[in-house]
Structure 1
Amino acid sequence: MPDTPGDAHQSLRDLVYVQLRERIIEGEYPAGRRLVERELAETMNVSRVPVREAMQRLEQEGFLTVQARRGAVVAEFGPAEAEHFFAVRESLEALAAQLAAQHATPAGLKSLERILTRTRKAAEAGRLRETVSLNADFHRAIVELSGNPLLQDMMAPLDGRLRRLFRLTSGPESTSPMCTEHEQLLAAIRSRDPQAAADLARRHVAGTRAFALSALGS
């Protein structure tokens, strides 16, 4: 338990934030749903203060928007939002892969291998939710292997949006190609080939963009 009232408040605020974000990512709170501070506080059995602070953070990260006369609603994630997201992600993912090929440790490479093995098993077993979660873990691990704290800070806010996009657009038909591309990317990083890793990462994001936009458009 937290040692001070300030710690307790921060922990409660963070807990509320994580729960609300997960409900949005998993689709329990779909796009357009109005979130009422008082109702959320009652449902989560907390005061309105941590709920308000969590909602403000979610708004800053693009999960909520404030509309006139409606208040806070879950933000849309349609083709336009996806295009903006992918434009940023393509450059940052390529940079992360390039740096990972230069700085990845043996332990880091083992971690990537374990994630990829679990992803392939989950995909083959048809466990889509687990596959989506592990997919995000794989990309997050590459960012960590970059060894660049600034890049990690820049990518962290995008992680939740990436998971939400995967949940909205991924299907059984997309998991096998995804695993194959991840295997190729891991091979380039393991081979210490920064250019190949960057090119593969960029190509992977481009393929994901095309698939996601098609799914969102339909």
Structure 2
Amino acid sequence: MNTSAGAGRASGRRVNLNSDYRPLRERVRDEIRERIINGDYAPGARIIEREIADELGVSRIPIRESLRMLEIEGFVAVLPRKGVVVKQLSESDVVKLFEVREALEVCATRLAASNASDADITRLRKLLERAEQADAKGAVDKVQQANVGFHDELIKICGNEILGGLLEPLQGRLHWLFRQHAHPGDLVAEHRALLEAVASRDPERATEAAMAHVQTNRERALKWLFHTEEKAEEA
């Protein structure tokens, strides 16, 4: 089996790196990150600079720069004798990820409850309804997209650009994590509770709903990835 990330590319999606005016390394980073999150590059797969450079039609310099950025974000690792590989999260990595998520996302949801307009609530409700409809049809990818959109919209509503900037790379890693193990329909009911809490304009209720959401997801992720319940029973 070929475990290089370049060889594993199978979506056939046309790549357009000229869609905005940001530095090329940032556009390349976003493309590689999206492939990792979508599962095109599996955990442990090697990322070959030459192959991706040829595919994207760019030199190896922006590829190398983008991979350094993704290493800082926690998506890839550099291993002796293997080079750059998609990172495989350890149990400790996941615990730490959720510790940071709890601090930031609970704060964002609390602020959203204080700042949300009627139009904001309507956008959240439409995203949730889209996820529910897709889940009823078994359209997993569309449920994923709506769930991601729900969280991104919630962060926008909080009105704190600094907090949003801190959450952006974290959200990417969480979306990646959930694509690896979670059924997206599991999140829909929890998002319903978040929506109603934000719509109530009650910061305390929103805090409790966000805390419950993060804790439930942490337990689910640890169970699916590391069989934590089985370890507890054996102990």
What is the TM-score of this pair, normalised by structure 1? 0.89
- Post-superposition offset of 1:114: 1.0
Cross-structure match for 1:71: 83
Question: Could you tell me how far apart the structure 2 residues matched to 1:37 and 1:108 are?
Answer: 42
Aligned to 1:137: 149
TM-score of the superposed pair, with normalisation by structure 2? 0.83
Report the equivalent of 1:209. 218
Aligned position for 1:158 = 170
Pick from 98, 101, 124: which aligns with 2:110? 98
Of 193, 196, 200, 2:205 maps to 196
Structure 1's 46 and 149: CA in aligned 2 closer, same or farther, altered over 3 A?
A: same
Change beyond 3 A, Cα 1:77–1:117: same
What is the DSSP-based 3-state SS (H/G/I as helix, E as strand, rest coil) of the residue aligned with 1:66?
Answer: strand
- Give 3-state SS (helix, strand or coil) of 1:65's partner: strand
SS of 2:85's partner is: strand
Point out the more displaced range, 198-207 or 127-136.
Answer: 127-136
Equivalent residues, number: 208
The 1-side partners of 2:153 and 2:22 are apart by 30
CA distance in 2, matches of 1:140, 1:50: 27
Other-structure match for 1:60: 72
Give the Cα separation in 2 of the matches to 1:26 and 1:78.
19
Query: Which string of whole-angstrom CA distances, capped at 9 and with x for unpartnered residues, describes residues 134-192 of structure 1?
Result: 21221121111111111111101112101101101112xx61x4222211211111111
Task: Compare the two structures and name the one with the higher helix fraction.
Answer: 1
Q: Which amino acid aligns with 2:216?
A: G
C-alpha change, 1:162 and 1:52, in structure 2 (3 Å) is same
SS of the aligned residue for 2:222 comes to helix
The Cα shift of 1:9 comes to 7.7
Deviation at 1:121, TM superposition (A): 0.8
Structure number with higher relative contact order (C-alpha < 8 Å, ≥ 6 residues apart): 1
CA contact (8 A) 1:101 1:194 kept: yes
Percent identity between matched residues is: 39
Partner SS, residue 74 of structure 2:
coil
Structure 1 residues 142 and 52: CA distance shift in structure 2, 3 A: same
Aligned to 2:12: none
- Look up the SS of the partner of 2:132 in the other structure: helix
Partner Cα separation in structure 2 for residue 148 and residue 9 of structure 1: 23
Corresponding residue number in structure 2 for 1:185: 194
Q: Which amino acid aligns with 1:108?
A: D
Unaligned runs of 5+ in 2: 1-19, 228-235
- Structure 1: stretches of 5+ with no match in the other structure: 1-6
- Opposite residue 188 of structure 1, the aligned amino acid is A
Give the AA of the match of 1:147.
G
Distance (Å, rounded) in 2 between the aligned partners of 1:148 and 1:8: 24
Q: Give the match for residue 4 of structure 1.
A: none
CA RMSD of aligned residues (A): 1.7
1:86 pairs, out of 98, 102, 105, with 98
| AA partner of residue 153 (structure 1) | G
| Cα deviation 1:7-56 (Å, max 9, x = unaligned) | 8682x333322221111112221111111212221122221122112111
Question: Aligned to 2:39, what secondary structure does the other structure show?
Answer: coil
